[in-house]
Each structure stands twice: as structure tokens, then as C-alpha cells.
């Protein structure tokens, strides 16, 4: 959260933390909101569950990199599939 001062939360005896108001507002959190914790390269990231970056979505859709070849005309591909699928012999 660039532009924010360092914010500290304390762990209670019940192993719970409070999310500071400034963070709740910035993340759009309300009672019942879920948080996601992720460890990467020794750093923990906390974010509102269900919020993904374009990069996250791209990696999930194309784990081996972007598809090779020219772009597909989706409308024509669907039309071709429907014709093949429902063709009468």
C-alpha cells in the first residue's frame, strides 16, 4: 500500500488480529469479508479474497505462456462447431 505509513496490528491471546480502519477502507472490507494470505519469496501478502490482478488471471489461463499462432475468430469457431455437431447425415 504505497503512500501509507507503516501500520501495525497486534495478535491477541486468541491468535486474532484487528484490521486497522485505514486498511479496511482501502480494501473495501466489511464484517464477514474474507482475506487471503499468500507467501511468496519469504514475504506474506494479505488481500481481499476474490480480488485478482490481471497477471494472476493471465497465469491461470495460460500457465505455459500465451497461445501461439494467429488469434482465433471466436464467432466463426462456434459457428463451425455448431454445424459439425448438429449436421444431419
For the purposes of burial, counting CB atoms within 10 Å of the CB of 6, is it exposed (0-12), middle (13-18) or buried (19 or more)? Answer: exposed
Maximum CA extent, the chain: 73
pTM given for the model: 0.46
pLDDT at 3 over 70: no
pLDDT digits (tens, 9 = 90+) for 14-52: 999 999 999 899 888 988 888 989 999 999 988 888 767
Q: Which of 49, 10, 43, 7 is nearest to 28 (CA)?
A: 49
What pLDDT, on a 0 to 100 scale, did the predictor assign at position 1?
47
List the domain boundaries for the chain.
21-85
Amino acid at each position: 500500500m504505497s503512500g501509507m505509513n507503516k501500520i501495525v496490528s497486534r495478535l491477541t491471546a486468541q491468535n486474532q488480529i484487528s484490521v486497522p480502519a485505514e486498511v479496511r477502507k482501502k480494501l473495501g472490507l466489511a464484517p464477514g469479508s474474507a482475506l487471503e494470505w499468500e507467501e511468496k519469496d519469504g514475504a506474506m501478502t494479505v488481500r481481499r479474497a476474490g480480488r485478482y490482478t490481471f497477471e494472476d488471471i493471465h497465469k491461470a489461463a495460460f500457465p505455459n505462456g500465451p497461445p501461439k499462432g494467429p488469434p482465433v475468430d471466436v464467432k466463426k469457431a462456434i459457428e463451425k462447431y455448431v454445424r459439425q455437431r448438429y449436421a444431419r447425415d
